[in-house]
Amino acid sequence: MTRAFTVIIERDAEGYYVATVPELRGCHTQARSLDTLMKRIREAIEVCLEVEGEPLPPQEFIGVQRVWVDV
């Protein structure tokens, strides 16, 4: 069975790409390149599914907003 997951990708202060899967608790990884990141997040999803079983109910991805706050 094939299932799609939403993956959030960010870049940290040191230049690493960081991927997180909101539907799977604790499912994240990092890499220097996007190609490596995508390979690693697929592996992380497989491991999380083996350990956790069924993921949280699917969420509908709406979008991303940037918010500025005076601090």
CA distance 21 to 19: 7
CB-count exposure of residue 50 (10 Å: 0-12, 13-18, 19+) = exposed
**β-strands 8-11, 17-20: how paired?**
antiparallel
Which helix (H) or strand (E) segment is 17 a member of?
strand 17-20
Going by C-beta distance under 8 Å and a sequence separation of 6 or more, which residues neighbour residue 40?
19, 29, 30, 31
Domains of the chain: which residue ranges? 8-52
Q: What is the pLDDT along the chain (71 residues), one digit of tens a residue?
A: 788 888 999 999 999 999 999 888 899 999 999 999 999 999 999 999 988 776 667 777 788 888 899 98
State the pTM of this model. 0.79
What is the CATH T-level fold of the domain 8-52, as seen in this structure?
Double Stranded RNA Binding Domain (3.30.160)
